[in-house]
Amino acid sequence: MRNTTCLLFILVSLTITLKNVHAQGPPIFTDSPYLLGLDGGGIRTFGKYISTGNGQTYSQPLIVPYNVTTNYQIGGVQPFIIQFPDNGSSKSGFGNFTLFGKYSVIQIDGKAKTFRALMKFSQTFSTGASNISVDTNVSQLEFVIGYITTKYGIYGTVGYTFVSNDFPDNLIYNFAFGYPLLPQKYPPFQLNLFIELNGTHTLDIENNLLFVSSGIQIITSSIFLIESGVQIPVVDDRSATKFTYAIGMRYLIF
C-alpha cells in the first residue's frame, strides 16, 4: 500500500514536472518567462531521467508549440514514460496528454537584459496507459516571472494545481538563480550553473515538499543542450522522497 502511494506520488509529481518541459531554455526545474525565444513553430523533445528512493523513471515528451500571436502560444505535450520500480518489473507506455496556453503579460526589454512575466494554463487529460499514468485530470494555472541578463538570471513561479478524482490540490512555488560561466555569444557555447528551490504544498492533507536543487547545463549549439540536476528534499512531511536526479536534453527538431 505504501509503495502504491509512493508510486502515485511520483506519477503526480512527474505530471506536474512535465509542465516545465516546454520551458524555453534555462533553468532546469523552474519555468522561464521567454515565450517566443525558440520560435514556437518548432517541435521540441526533452528527455528526463528521474531517480528517487523508490525507483527510476525516464520520460521522453514531444512538445509542439504554436504561436497564435506574438504574445500568445498554445501547444501540446505527449510524453512516453518508462518506469523501473525497485519492487517489480519495468513497464512503459504513453503518459497523459497535456494541452497548454501561455500569454505574455509583461515584457520590458533593455540592452542585453529583459524583464518578463507570463500566465500559463495547462490541462492534463488521463489519456495515458493505465499501468504507467495516473487516472486523473490535472489543471494548472501558473504565473511565471523572470529577470534575465547576460550576467545572471532570476526566475520565479507560483501556481495552483487542481487534481481530479479526490486527489488533493497542490500549491507550487519555484525560484531559480542561474549563472553563466562562459562569455555569452552566438551561436552559443554555454556552461550554466543553477541553484533552485522547488516547493509543493499539498492542500487538504497539508503536506510540504521542498527541494533544494542544483544543476549544470551545457549548450553546445543553437539547437541542442544537455543538462543535469539533483533535487534534495529539505522539507518532506511524507518522508517519501530521498532525492531526485534528472538528466535531460532539449533538441529542436526544426
Partner 1 sequence: MQSRRRKSIVIFIFCVTTVFAQSNEVTVRVDGLSCPFCAYGLEKKLNDIKGVENINIDIEEGLIILKIVEGKIISEEELREKIRDAGFTPKEIVFTNKDKKTREKE
Question: For the chain, first and last CA: distance in Å?
Answer: 45
Backbone torsion region of residue 251, taken as left when φ is above 0, otherwise alpha when ψ lies between -120 and 50, otherwise beta: beta
Binding flag, residue 205, partner 1 (CB under 8 A)? no
Q: How far is the CB of 67 from partner 1 (least distance, A)?
A: 8
Instruction: State the amino acid at position 204 in one-letter form.
Output: D
Binding flag, residue 135, partner 1 (CB under 8 A)? no
Binding flag, residue 90, partner 1 (CB under 8 A)? no
Binding span for partner 1 by CB under 8 A among 8-16, 83-91, 167-175, 181-189:
181-189
Task: List the alpha helices (DSSP H) in the chain.
Answer: 2-17
Nearer to partner 1, 90 or 222 (CB): 222
Binding flag, residue 144, partner 1 (CB under 8 A)? no
Q: How far is the CB of 112 from partner 1 (least distance, A)?
A: 5
* Distance from C-alpha of 143 to C-alpha of 79, rounded to nearest angstrom: 23
* Distance from C-alpha of 11 to C-alpha of 9, rounded to nearest angstrom: 5
Nearer to partner 1, 76 or 188 (CB): 188
112 neighbors 150 (Cβ within 8 angstroms): yes
Q: How far is the CB of 206 from partner 1 (least distance, A)?
A: 38
> How far is residue 222 from each of residues 37, 103, 180, measured CA to CA in Å?
11, 25, 16
Binding flag, residue 37, partner 1 (CB under 8 A)? yes
Taken in order 39, 42, 43, 48, the sign of the CA dihedral is: negative
Q: How far is the CB of 188 from partner 1 (least distance, A)?
A: 3
Query: Taking CB under 8 A as the criterion, which residues in 62-81 touch partner 1?
Result: 67, 70
Binding flag, residue 223, partner 1 (CB under 8 A)? yes
Binding span for partner 1 by CB under 8 A among 76-84, 112-120, 128-136, 200-208:
112-120
CB contact set of 175 (below 8 Å; sequence gap of 6+): 30, 155, 156, 157, 196, 197
Binding span for partner 1 by CB under 8 A among 8-16, 145-153, 200-208, 236-244:
145-153
Binding flag, residue 24, partner 1 (CB under 8 A)? yes
Instruction: State the amino acid at position 18 in one-letter form.
Output: L
CB contact set of 152 (below 8 Å; sequence gap of 6+): 177, 178, 179, 180
Binding flag, residue 206, partner 1 (CB under 8 A)? no
The correct pick among 3, 90, 127, 184 for binding partner 1 (CB under 8 A) is 184
Which 3 state secondary structure label does DSSP give 126? coil
146 neighbors 126 (Cβ within 8 angstroms): no
Say how many residues touch partner 1, by CB under 8 A.
36
Where along the sequence are the contacts to partner 1 (CB under 8 A)? 24-26, 34-40, 42, 67, 70, 107, 109-114, 148-150, 153, 183-188, 190, 219, 222-223, 225, 252
